[in-house]
Amino acid sequence: MDLIILGSGTAYPDGDRGPSSYWVGEGETGLLVDCGSGICQKLARAGLDWKNLEAVCLTHAHPDHLGDLPALLFALRMPEVGRVKPLTVFHSPELTPYLDGLHGTYGDWLVPSGFEVRYQPVAAGQRAAVGRLTLESFAVAHHATSLGYRLQNGQGVSLAIPSDTGLCQSLVDHVQKVDCLVLECAATDDRPMSGHLTPTDVLYVLDHASPFTLLLTHLYPWTERAGVAQQVMAGARCPVLVARDGLAVEVRRGGVVVREENLLESGRGRPRGEGEEREGVVRSGEGGLFPSEELSLMHAMMDRELDRMDRADMDRRKYDFHREPNASGPGPTSRDEWGFERAVAGVPLWTEEDLVGLVPTRAQRKLLGRVSERAIQSEINLRGSIREDALARLEAVVPTWARTGVRLARIVTGKGKQSEAEPVVKLAVLNWITGPQGRRWVKEWAPVMAADGNFGSVVIELKR
Ligand SMILES: [Zn+2]
């Protein structure tokens, strides 16, 4: 499977990185994931068979991801193209009004001539055949219209492009053991942004999903300068490549082989014919080069190692939820029940004293009991955030969870022992979920008690 990075940047103008777009090819099948501005020229420059493009998979309605969709549709309808093959546009159902609006604005200029454009809304979790590839969409934590895509060929070689996303369980679940994961890192650990990943978030995904190769993308000039790629490379257990516009790789079982360093460089872009393949190399986390033959051996070893580590780690995580509250701990407090009854609108409900000797109510224990049967679908880690950032991320992600059908999610606050800031975040989270804003979305919540009687995360059940 071929992957060509056409846009590894963001909305911020950058001479080296254009807005988001990826070409995925398998035999005669070619498709685009996202359509950031500038791609019409890049398709031609890279020598890609854009006239026979099979599909466009849109990830969400931010302009840096689909700004050139009208330009592409306009180009494809030119008589000189002579297109007859239908073009499928995959998108979330929530993106339909945007596409309708686009057609309303441009009118006839976007109406295809001689071929058909088939808009195909896909819900998260749905699969579709795209030529020689199978596509599966999945929910990510970014925007109401967001979808991530996982693509697989007939030999089981897989590639995942979640596009913009915050850390969530759906992301971790759907990129499990992919041969190549194209993942964003648009934020730094110092300045986390809701709906985006920091290097720590990226490493969490790597640890819990074990992809074979990581291609780091969606880089702002300042995140790149801050060394996010180096930070990820230092902690990653799989090879990490930094995406660049024009980079062409072949995705294979167990990793990738670089085909062209920059297909957009003048004269390099041409359709690859038989016998034209170059022996490629893959860049490792340390910046070393591995001949492609060594790759499969390296990955086979890594796979075994990761399998072992993952199982142990997943078991630990799972059993955290099963742990009973400390039986010898303090009994129910004389204060009100822990539940939502406490939440009188507008009154700050939780103070630091409330956190001492907490015991979950019966309803909360019941919720924790159910969590052991129904997997946590998503997670946000607010540990180490400052209060304002934690609240901003919460306000963005909880409604997104509700909209994308997440029913059970976990909010990691930290136990409040690591730094002065932690109890502040923990209290802010409790006050938010039990306050008027949180109650719009949250049906029930429960602290996940550790053996020491403290808790560093809460589970929430969202309203339907
Ligand atoms: Zn976005």
**Domain of residue 136, CATH code:** 3.60.15.10
Q: Count Cβ atoms within 10 A of the Cβ of residue 286 and give its class: 0-12 exposed, 13-18 middle, 19 or more buried.
A: exposed
Q: Is residue 320 part of a domain?
A: no
Scanning the structure block, which residue is given the tokens 């009208």? 70
Provide the CATH number for the domain around residue 364. Answer: 3.30.1370.110
What spacing in Å lies between the alpha carbon of 412 and ligand 1's midpoint? 24
Nearest to 350 by CA among 279, 286, 424: 424
What spacing in Å lies between the alpha carbon of 276 and ligand 1's midpoint? 37
Q: Is residue 321 part of a domain?
A: no
What spacing in Å lies between the alpha carbon of 103 and ligand 1's midpoint? 22
What spacing in Å lies between the alpha carbon of 193 and ligand 1's midpoint? 11
pLDDT of the residue at 342: 37
3-state secondary structure of 391: helix
User: What is the gyration radius of the CA atoms in the chain, in angstroms?
Assistant: 24
Total of domains in the chain = 2
What spacing in Å lies between the alpha carbon of 143 and ligand 1's midpoint? 7
106 with 251, same domain?
yes
What spacing in Å lies between the alpha carbon of 3 and ligand 1's midpoint? 21
Q: Is residue 32 part of a domain?
A: yes
Q: What is the DSSP string of 199-250?
A: HHHHHHHHHHH--S-EEEE---HHHHHTTHHHHHHHH-SS-EEE--TT-EEE
Nearest to 342 by CA among 434, 249, 228: 434
pLDDT of the residue at 434: 83
Q: Is residue 251 part of a domain?
A: yes
102 with 58, same domain?
yes
| Amino acid identity at 101 | G
What spacing in Å lies between the alpha carbon of 428 and ligand 1's midpoint? 27
What spacing in Å lies between the alpha carbon of 2 and ligand 1's midpoint? 24
pLDDT of the residue at 324: 30
124 with 32, same domain?
yes
pLDDT of the residue at 356: 76
Query: Please, are residues 65 and 20 in contact by the beta-carbon 8 Å criterion?
Result: yes
How are beta strands 21-26 and 29-33 bridged, if at all?
antiparallel
What spacing in Å lies between the alpha carbon of 253 and ligand 1's midpoint? 30
What spacing in Å lies between the alpha carbon of 376 and ligand 1's midpoint? 25
285 with 351, same domain?
no
Domain boundary (252, 284, 315) is at 315
What spacing in Å lies between the alpha carbon of 165 and ligand 1's midpoint? 8
Q: Is residue 185 part of a domain?
A: yes
Q: Is residue 38 part of a domain?
A: yes
What spacing in Å lies between the alpha carbon of 31 and ligand 1's midpoint? 20
Q: Is residue 115 part of a domain?
A: yes
What spacing in Å lies between the alpha carbon of 380 and ligand 1's midpoint? 18
What spacing in Å lies between the alpha carbon of 186 and ligand 1's midpoint? 10
3-state secondary structure of 308: helix
What spacing in Å lies between the alpha carbon of 60 and ligand 1's midpoint? 7
3-state secondary structure of 332: coil
Task: Please state, in angstroms and rounded to a whole number, the distance separating the CA atoms of residues 376 and 370.
Answer: 10
Q: Is residue 61 part of a domain?
A: yes
What spacing in Å lies between the alpha carbon of 297 and ligand 1's midpoint? 37
State the DSSP H helix or E strand holding residue 42, giving kind and residue range, or none if neither.
Answer: helix 39-45
What spacing in Å lies between the alpha carbon of 304 and ligand 1's midpoint? 35
Query: Please, are residues 151 and 138 in contact by the beta-carbon 8 Å criterion?
Result: no
What spacing in Å lies between the alpha carbon of 92 and ligand 1's midpoint? 14
What spacing in Å lies between the alpha carbon of 217 and ligand 1's midpoint? 13
20 with 96, same domain?
yes
16 with 73, same domain?
yes
279 with 333, same domain?
no
What spacing in Å lies between the alpha carbon of 128 and ligand 1's midpoint? 24
What spacing in Å lies between the alpha carbon of 142 and ligand 1's midpoint? 7
Task: Please state, in angstroms and rounded to a whole number, the distance separating the CA atoms of residues 340 and 264.
Answer: 57
Helices (H) and strands (E) in the chain, counts: 13, 21
pTM here is 0.61
| Amino acid identity at 306 | L
176 with 28, same domain?
yes
- Per-residue pLDDT for the chain (464 aa), expressed as one digit of tens each? 999 999 999 999 998 899 999 999 999 999 999 999 999 999 999 999 999 999 999 999 999 999 999 999 999 999 999 999 999 999 999 999 999 999 999 999 999 989 999 999 999 999 999 999 999 999 999 999 999 999 999 999 999 999 999 999 999 999 999 999 999 999 999 999 889 999 999 999 999 999 999 999 999 999 999 999 999 999 998 889 999 999 999 999 888 988 888 999 855 555 444 333 333 333 333 222 333 433 433 343 344 444 444 444 433 333 332 223 333 333 323 233 333 333 333 445 677 777 777 778 888 888 888 776 556 888 888 888 888 888 888 888 888 888 778 888 889 888 776 666 667 888 889 888 887 788 888 988 998 888 777 888 899 999 88
270 with 158, same domain?
yes
Sheet architecture: strand order including 29-33: 117-121, 87-91, 55-57, 29-33, 21-26, 2-7, 248-252, 255-260, 281-283, 289-291
Domain boundary (287, 315, 343) is at 315
350 with 246, same domain?
no
343 with 262, same domain?
no
What spacing in Å lies between the alpha carbon of 28 and ligand 1's midpoint? 30
259 with 173, same domain?
yes
404: containing domain: 327-462
Scanning the structure block, which residue is given the tokens 């690859």? 272
What spacing in Å lies between the alpha carbon of 392 and ligand 1's midpoint? 16
Residue 32 pairs in a beta bridge with 23, 56
Domain boundary (293, 315, 337) is at 315
pLDDT of the residue at 313: 42
